[in-house]
Amino acid sequence: MPGKLKVKIVAGRHLPVMDRASDLTDAFVDVKFGNTTFKTDVYPKSLNPQWNSEWFKFEVDDEDLQDEPLQITVLDHDTYSANDAIGKVYIDIDPLLCSEAATVISGWLPIYDTIHGIRGEINVLVKVDFFNDLNRFRQSSCGVKFFCTTSIPRCYRAVMVHGFVEELVVNEDPEYQWIDRIRTPRASNEARQRLIFLMSGELQRKIGLKVLEMGGNAVVGYLQCFDLEGESGLVVRAIGTACTLEKISTLTSASATHPSNSSPSKDMKDSPQAAPSTLGCRSTHSSPVHSASGRLSQGFSVSVPTLLFAGMGSGGSAGKEAGPLKALLRQQTQSALEQREYPFFTLTSFPPGFLLHVGGVVSARSVKLLDRIHNPDEPETRDAWWEEIRQEIKSHAKALGCHAVLGYSESTSICEEVCILSASGTAAILGSRFVQDGPLDTDYRLSRQPLVFSTGAERVEGDMGSSASLGFEEVAPPGCGFCHIPYDELNIPFPAQLTYCYYCRRFKVPDVLFTTIDLPTEANVTGKGCLIQARLCRTKKKAQGEGNATAISNLLPFLEYELHTQLMNKLKLRGMNSLFGLRIQISVGETMLLGLASATGVYLTALPSPGRIQIAGKTPSDITYEQHISNMQKKINDTIAKNKELYEVNPPEVVEEMIGSPIPEPRQRSRLLRSHSESSDEVTELDLSHGKKDAFVLEIDDTDAVEDIHALLTDSPMPPGFYSCNTEIMPGIQNWTSAIQMFTSVRVFRLNNANLTNQGLNKIFSDLCENLLKSLYFKLRSMIPCCLCHLNFTVAVPEDELIQVAVTAVAMSFYKDQTLENGRQSGDKTLIKAITENDEQLQFNLELNAESSSSNPLSSTKGLSDVSGSHPSARAPPVDYSSFADRCSSWIEQLRLKAHTIRRGSVKTTSSLEKASPLPEGRSRSLQSNRSYSGSSVTVVKMTPLSFIPGAKITKYLGIINMFFIRETSSLREEGGVSGFLHTFIAEVFAMVRAHVAALGGNALVSYSMKECVFMENPNKNQAQSLINVSGDAVIFVRESELEATSVQPQSAATRETSNGGDGT
């Protein structure tokens, strides 16, 4: 009996009127866990009952603690007839099972009914007395921490990254059971909600077990999905990255306030070793492919002539054919990785030294026919499907000379009985530090040996240098290292043009780089990034069964190819050369296929500037035709020029002779770069670089090309003051204010005209997305200058002629005067690179040193850099702590005067968390006073899809929030039609998420995502139903200004952050 769950029901408020006669309610509460139920007394005739119950105690197994949700039902007592349910609250008690997460759940939680929505609130107290069971054969995995965040959580340090964990559980969908014909919609919805809660609990427990087996203590980048397969069942599956995390003690460690909190300690020796045996993560289902008998099970591969690599690999030995030393080094990490079945990582950003080289995007799709799941206890079929796909991904990665896949994710699209399974990731080569299981320090030392230099082999040197540590920056700057090709240049797995790295000039880089990960924090970027979307719609004939599946799998390669071409064109149109956070979603409907690819375009300094887009006609006979083409060409050229200006893409002019000398003196390079970025009037000269490359030719005779050009030119530019990206951070913007606004927007579009051409459909789909974006810009205009970060589009074809697009993102304001600083920043950065020594922890200090030593026209900057640099560190400039307070106030004074001219924050593109935001004192004060004045009883809970909160520091992770809700109505018109219905539902879901975060003691939900938003309607019957699944990490954050007040130690750059953000969440 390892756990005792204690529940106390305190009070209710805002209850609905259940008794029409008295306009009151006689409420009581049913508290259920597992099979045990307790009841409170009836609190008669009140809408605000005060039960103040005793502590209800449940003595349960820890297995049940993990699987079962606590179910609280509020009912209205009725003497003569059956008691009416008012609504329910499901509480996931998982956060209470981990010592480092929450300790109590206490607060007002909305009472939810699937038909009526939120009906009042209930105040509960939940605690767990937990006796940890060390039984080796246990089935529970209490204590394993789960994070949705796809990077190492901010107050932890990764000791070891173990690798991929996955699990799936299946069950029959209660909505499709025979009993559903006789029960009420409410009962059916509740059965479904409860089942999914149970299944998620079970799934989490099983994943936890695997993590323990691997010797880890946490899952990062936990991604759980539902496949509503209809008749054939319900699948809940999850993937994640098992890690061993160590908590960074908050105020004593300098690294806690370092911009890249995730940076691990140098001292690896004291890290606990992993369990000696790294068992494959899939120990349970070892049975091989288990194909649905007699059914079609068709995979497909497509090889597109660029970096989006989805073809079958050709042996995949490329990496090993390189120089012997390199091979040796690789083998070390590789062997570590090869012990694992899947060297996959769901993370998208990494601690320094983790990622060495990026190969490109790998993806695999497979079309399957769904079959009824006969035995829920044996989910082999679904398992086998995913296994196939993962194997394919693995072999693609190999073909790219890579031994790992990063930013890995899986998704499905289901239409009737056809299901497309997709997986994608970024093939990469990893550093040895986090992944190997052998004795760590030996390897570590080995890789740092100066022996590297004596080999003379250029490539080896680079690999060794960057893999060893950041200490050898002079050898391979981390700002470009990841761009260097991992595959053998003589054995390129796909057509690509290689050039020498434009940053270090020593290693080969591809001309374009596509990835699914976030932009590495240390990457050198020119200008800003922007969201790039490729949208495609293809008609399909209605078909059944295998025919349908075949038709779809025949269409897929073309779809993927075209999406890719579109992405490429749009990238070039913006004058950029790489894509990050690429996410391709393909959705099936009965009569069409939708493809949406989103990514953030970036100009990587290390990569060559993109070639020009040239339009060519096949038959240049007609003069008007020629004219037309040249017009178009001009338009395109103009757009490119305009875009370059907008995104400040003004790469440094290449000095040709540099190619001859492979190892330029770093200082010289940095000065060179600096001088370029400081002068912004060089944009016009840039076209020169186009001439040197093969232009990207679009042949206009091709109808597809016409379409492409059309699509290219119809993308309307963002209104001034707006930027957008789909990654965690926006390259080129750092100085965020604390105003953030997370939102979800959903649109459903009806195609009235059944027989549309592909082109027509395309246009409609593209317009739909564009208009949605335009609406967002308009809505959020008060936040200008602002960036829409982590823009996540989800498309679906809920019905024959419907297209649904859902967007979730966060709008974050930033301070305007940034543009002036860009030049300085890149200059600084390179300068720092040049002088930085081994200890990357000190980088922050150093750069500030650099800054204050560089000639700065502003007198106040000196003072500022002193504060920000005053980490407790030997290298920090001397600061007189006693006079700190005085200085503080005078700085604030100065800031108020010079807010526009002071360079703020660090130069790193990392977490903008630390970036200061000098809100004028007056305003922030008024905000604060406003808030304290009102005495509102509701905690403000911020929500963001990002892993951080600007201007604040996350001090504690309270646990994962993973909630699933169903809402149904049979009075659609009365509830404001479809829009009114969904609007209310989404608002209710947000409210419930916020309430649960607050009850855990948190004030924010980070890494929020809405993974499922299914909407079905039947206007004729006045009915609608919707399902929403949301998840994220509940955290406590502290404003940096507040930290400042409480801690004696001055924090970095936080002095100026004073707003409490009362105006945006």
Non-local (6+) Cβ contacts of 844 within 8 A are 258, 259, 869, 871, 906, 908, 1052
Q: What part of residues 44-73 is at the interface with other proteins (CB under 8 A)?
A: none
State which residue, 481 or 951, has the beta carbon closest to other proteins. Answer: 951
Strand partners, 36: 33
Residue 635 has a CB neighbour count (10 Å cut-off) of 14
Q: Which of 936, 1020, 1021, 1045 binds other proteins (CB under 8 A)?
A: 936
Query: Residue 1063, interface with other proteins (CB under 8 A)?
Result: yes
Q: Please tell me whether residue 942 binds other proteins under the rule CB under 8 A.
A: yes
- Dihedrals φ, ψ of 491, to 5°? -130, 50
> Does residue 247 bind other proteins (CB under 8 A)?
no
Binding of residue 946 to other proteins (CB under 8 A) = no
* Separation CA 906–CA 1046 (nearest Å): 23
- Amino acid code (one letter) for 1031: S
Q: Which residues contact 605 (CB under 8 A, 6 or more apart)?
A: 479, 480, 502, 503, 524, 525, 526, 651, 652, 673
Give CA–CA dist 469/355, Å, rounded. 11
For residue 757, state whether it binds other proteins (rule: CB under 8 A): no
Residue from 986, 997, 1000, 1054 touching other proteins (CB under 8 A): that is: 986
Q: Which of 548, 519, 535, 551 is nearest to 584 (CA)?
A: 535
Q: Which of 434, 428, 432, 99 is nearest to 265 (CA)?
A: 434
Residue 642 binds to other proteins (criterion: CB under 8 A): no
Residue 995 found at the interface with other proteins (CB under 8 A): yes
Side chain identity at residue 708, one-letter code: D
Residue-wise DSSP of 417-458:
TEEEEEEEEEEEEE-STTT--S-HHHHHHHHH-THHHHH--H
Q: Round to the nearest angstrom and report the end-to-end CA distance of the chain.
A: 42
Instruction: Determine, following the binding rule CB under 8 A, whether residue 934 of this chain makes contact with other proteins.
Output: yes
Other Cβ atoms within 10 Å of 430 Cβ, number: 27
Which runs of consecutive H residues, i.e. helices, occur in 153-295? 185-214
Applying CB under 8 A, the site for other proteins has a residue count of 64
Site for other proteins in 1023-1052 (CB under 8 A): none
774 lies in the site for other proteins, by CB under 8 A = yes
Listed ranges 364-372, 444-452, 769-777, 1031-1039: which one lies at the site for other proteins (CB under 8 A): 769-777
Nearer to other proteins, 415 or 748 (CB): 748
Q: Which of 474, 438, 420 is nearest to 586 (CA)?
A: 420
Taking CB under 8 A as the binding criterion, the range among 140-148, 776-784, 813-821, 1030-1038 that sits at the site for other proteins is 776-784
Cβ proximity to other proteins, 290 vs 774, nearer residue: 774
> Does residue 809 bind other proteins (CB under 8 A)?
no
Stretch that binds other proteins, among 184-192, 546-554, 565-573, 751-759 (CB under 8 A): 751-759
Cα→Cα distances 993→790, 811, 885, Å = 19, 19, 39
Using CB under 8 A as the binding rule, whether residue 750 contacts other proteins is answered as: yes
Q: Using CB under 8 A, pick the residue from 9, 435, 982, 1035 that binds other proteins.
A: 982
Asked if 455 touches other proteins (CB under 8 A), the answer is no
Q: Which of 207, 281, 742, 966 binds other proteins (CB under 8 A)?
A: 742
Tell me the C-alpha distance between 1034 and 1001, whole Å.
9
Read off the amino acid at residue 400: L
Q: Rule CB under 8 A: which of 358-397 touch other proteins?
A: none
Q: Put residue 230 in one of left, alpha, beta given phi > 0 → left and psi -120 to 50 → alpha.
A: left
**Minimal CA–CA distance to 462: which of 427, 394, 508?**
508
Of the candidate residues 79, 375, 619, 937, the single one contacting other proteins (CB under 8 A): 937
Residue closer to other proteins (CB basis): 160 or 963: 963
Identify residues 684-723 at the interface with other proteins (CB under 8 A).
719-720
- Backbone region of residue 316 per phi and psi (left: phi > 0; alpha: psi in -120 to 50; beta: other values): left
Q: Which of 980, 1009, 1014, 1023 binds other proteins (CB under 8 A)?
A: 980
For residues 655 and 987, which CB has a smaller minimum distance to other proteins in the complex?
Answer: 987
According to the binding rule CB under 8 A, does residue 792 interact with other proteins? no
**H or E, element range at 90:** strand 84-91
14 binds other proteins, rule: CB under 8 A: yes
CA dist 167 and 121 (Å) reads 35
Return the residue of 269, 372, 779, 816 that touches other proteins, per CB under 8 A.
779
- Omega within 30 of 0 (cis) for the link into 324: no
Tell which one of 214, 384, 751, 797 touches other proteins (CB under 8 A).
751
Q: Contact between 991 and other proteins (CB under 8 A)?
A: yes
Nearer to other proteins, 660 or 922 (CB): 922
Among 112, 948, 990, 1037, binds other proteins (CB under 8 A): 990
For residues 193 and 1060, give the distance between their C-alpha atoms in angstroms, rounded to a whole number: 37
CA distance 268 to 779: 49
- As measured in angstroms, the least distance from the Cβ of 1027 to other proteins is 15
Q: Is 16 in the site for other proteins (CB under 8 A)?
A: no
Q: In this chain, which of 180, 380, 645, 988 binds other proteins, going by CB under 8 A?
A: 988
Q: Does 738 interact with other proteins (rule: CB under 8 A)?
A: no
Q: Which stretch binds other proteins (CB under 8 A): 145-153, 474-482, 779-787, 883-891?
A: 779-787
Of 197 and 777, nearer to other proteins (C-beta) is 777
Residues composing the chain: 1065
Closer to other proteins by Cβ: residue 555 or 949: 949
Site mask for other proteins (CB under 8 A), range 108-137, x = bound: x-x-------x--x----------------
The rounded distance, in Å, linking the Cα atoms of 922 and 167 is 53
Rule CB under 8 A: say whether 824 interacts with other proteins.
no
781 is a site residue for other proteins (CB under 8 A): yes
755 binds other proteins (CB under 8 A): no
> Is residue 749 close enough to count as binding other proteins by CB under 8 A?
yes
- Bridge partner residues of 160 (DSSP): 244
What's the sign of the alpha-carbon dihedral 199, 200, 203, 205? negative
- Name the residue nearer to other proteins (CB basis): 691 or 720: 720
Q: Which of residues 1008-1027 bind other proteins (CB under 8 A)?
A: 1015
Q: Are 502 and 524 in contact (CB under 8 A)?
A: no
If one asks whether residue 671 binds other proteins (CB under 8 A), the answer comes out as: no
3-state secondary structure 746-801: EEEEECCCCCCCHHHHHHHHHHHHHHHHHHHHHHCHHHCCEEEEEEEEEEECCCCC
What does the alpha-carbon distance between residue 825 and residue 674 come to, in Å, rounded to a whole number?
Answer: 9
Whole-angstrom Cα Rg for the chain: 29
Is 589 among the residues that bind other proteins (CB under 8 A)?
Answer: no
Interface residue with other proteins among 931, 970, 1009, 1022 (CB under 8 A) is 931
Return the sign of the alpha-carbon dihedral for residues 517, 519, 524, 530: positive
Alpha helices in 882-1005 (DSSP H): 884-898, 921-934, 977-999
What does the DSSP 8-state code read for residue 98? S
From the list 18, 594, 730, 748, which residue makes contact with other proteins (rule: CB under 8 A)?
Answer: 748
Stretch that binds other proteins, among 290-298, 621-629, 830-838, 934-942 (CB under 8 A): 934-942
* Residue of 358, 341, 468, 469 lying closest to 407 (CA atoms): 358
Nearest C-alpha neighbor of 429 from the set 331, 503, 537: 331
- The three-class DSSP label of residue 1032 is strand
Q: How far is the CB of 928 from other proteins (least distance, A)?
A: 11
- The piece of 178-186, 605-613, 964-972, 989-997 that touches other proteins (CB under 8 A) is 989-997
Asked if residue 973 binds other proteins (CB under 8 A), the reply is no
996 lies in the site for other proteins, by CB under 8 A: no
Binding stretches for other proteins (CB under 8 A): 13-14, 108, 110, 118, 121, 719-720, 741-753, 764, 771, 774-781, 802, 804, 930-931, 933-934, 936-938, 940-943, 976, 978-980, 982-984, 986-988, 990-992, 994-995, 1015, 1062-1065
